[in-house]
Structure 1
Amino acid sequence: MQSDHSTARPVGRGAKVRAAVHAATLAELVDKGYAALTIENVARRAGVHKTTVYRRWKDRESLLTDALAEHMALDIPVPDTGAIETDLRALARSLARAFTSPTGQAILAAMFTGAAQLPEIAAARRHVFDDRLARAEPVVTHAIERGELPRDTDPAELLKTLAAPIYLRLLITAEPVDETTADQAVRVTLAAARAGVLRPVRRDDEPAKAAR
């Protein structure tokens, strides 16, 4: 007897196919983990032929990277409340909710445990988080433009400071992650930013390079 997802109906073309394949990829990741993730199973669950998937993604790593980046963009939307404190609170709370969900837990497992040391997974992880930072940086640049933060605030450093305590609990200490965690991360991040310590990081060899 075939499972429900193996007899899924055709889903059409273009954006609908992409959305269906992304959803199937994440569902396979949640159900079976990265090790058992295959293009064939994703295609079957999505209701498309495997050649349709291969036409858009060269392998499972590129498919997973694309699906994860899109999922994080949708599941952790970039807020625009008009104030940096409420923007960061919305961002941090979304991050906490996203990674404590079953899908979020499966994503973390795929990126940080098991196959996480494989070069292709390390590259996927870097791409996903670089994409996340790039999407969220306008939250900080708009706050600088409004005069809420020092002009030399580094958007990437601020966002990393915001996310760090959440990821610490998720990946290292296994402590609870909730809105209280998110709100505390916001308070610490804003205090650091307003004190002027979240400036661009200068590497030890940069002054020497500049002097040449």
Structure 2
Amino acid sequence: MVEQQRAKRPGGRSARVRAAVHQAVTELIAERGYGSFNVGDVAARAGVADTSVYRRWGNLEALLMDVAITWLTTTSPIPDTGSMATDLRAYAANVARDIGGPDGLAVLRLVIALSNAGETGVRARDAFLGERGRQLQGMLDRARERGEHPPDGVEILDHILAPMYIRTLFGMGSLTPEYVDTLVDRLLASHHNATADAERPSGP
């Protein structure tokens, strides 16, 4: 029994360290912004040694990428309600809830900053956007399997995600349920009209 407990201890401590370091990163981004802290600052905030951070992540950019991807994969779950319209509404509501929190705003700022942080930063940004795209694609693929005609990922980005990201980043108003539903309504109406036009016979 003692040996089993000892065997489990490193994994549990590793998870706690990772969570503490991730939380320290989001707090520092929210307080200071990207580029205004280093690994030592993160380690001090998390209550761990610098060497622990370097050993696990190698450098600050790799750590920031891990924070962004982890936040994305553990928030805004992709719904499966059986209907494209209700999936979109639930998904948009989840995104609004998550980016409306302090950690969500910090991660959005982080992803933007990484775009200007050299090759490593661009890879981190692309990984973040790629994961978001894979999540959305799974929802859209299920809709097609049900015989529906969903919008594509770019339409969702343009009509739902981008307006919410911009409003959050620039403090242009809260993401109320009514506002989020309006974004989804506009997407559905635009997609319906485009689909109808494409299916309408041409000619006199």
- Determine helix, strand or coil for the equivalent of 1:77: coil
Provide the C-alpha distance between the structure 2 equivalents of 1:139 and 1:195, rounded to a whole number of angstroms: 21
Provide the C-alpha distance between the structure 2 equivalents of 1:181 and 1:51, rounded to a whole number of angstroms: 46
**Structure 2 unaligned residues grouped into runs of 5+:** 1-9, 196-204
Q: 1:56 offset after TM fit, Å?
A: 2.0
2:181 partner letter: D
CA RMSD for the aligned pairs?
Answer: 2.8
> Residues 125 and 185 (structure 1 numbering): CA distance in 2 closer, same or farther, change over 3 Å?
same
- Determine helix, strand or coil for the equivalent of 2:25: helix
The residue number in structure 1 matching 2:182 is: 184
Provide the C-alpha distance between the structure 1 equivalents of 2:50 and 2:170, rounded to a whole number of angstroms: 38
The residue number in structure 2 matching 1:25 is: 25
Aligned length: 184
The residue number in structure 1 matching 2:168 is: 170
- Would you say 1:110 and 2:110 are equivalent positions? yes
2:68 partner letter: L
Q: 1:173 offset after TM fit, Å?
A: 8.5
Say if 2:68 and 2:110, in contact at 8 Å, map to a contact too: no
The residue number in structure 2 matching 1:157 is: 154
> Residues 105 and 187 (structure 1 numbering): CA distance in 2 closer, same or farther, change over 3 Å?
same
> Residues 159 and 80 (structure 1 numbering): CA distance in 2 closer, same or farther, change over 3 Å?
same
Q: 1:67 offset after TM fit, Å?
A: 0.5
Q: 1:129 offset after TM fit, Å?
A: 1.8
Write the mapping of 1:80-119 to structure 2, written as runs, cut at 5 A.
80-112=80-112, 117-119=116-118
Say if 2:89 and 2:181, in contact at 8 Å, map to a contact too: yes
- Would you say 1:39 and 2:36 are equivalent positions? no
TM-score, normalised relative to structure 2: 0.75
Q: 1:121 offset after TM fit, Å?
A: 3.7
Q: 1:157 offset after TM fit, Å?
A: 2.2
Q: Deviating runs (4+, > 4 A) in structure 1?
A: none
The residue number in structure 2 matching 1:6 is: none
Provide the C-alpha distance between the structure 1 equivalents of 2:126 and 2:170, rounded to a whole number of angstroms: 19
The residue number in structure 2 matching 1:210 is: none
Say if 2:105 and 2:169, in contact at 8 Å, map to a contact too: no
Provide the C-alpha distance between the structure 2 equivalents of 1:11 and 1:35, rounded to a whole number of angstroms: 31
**Structure 1 unaligned residues grouped into runs of 5+:** 1-9, 198-212
- Between 1:163-172 and 1:178-187, the stretch displaced more is 163-172
> Residues 133 and 176 (structure 1 numbering): CA distance in 2 closer, same or farther, change over 3 Å?
same
Provide the C-alpha distance between the structure 2 equivalents of 1:158 and 1:139, rounded to a whole number of angstroms: 14
Q: 1:48 offset after TM fit, Å?
A: 2.4
> Residues 82 and 16 (structure 1 numbering): CA distance in 2 closer, same or farther, change over 3 Å?
farther
1:28 partner letter: L
Say if 2:79 and 2:90, in contact at 8 Å, map to a contact too: yes
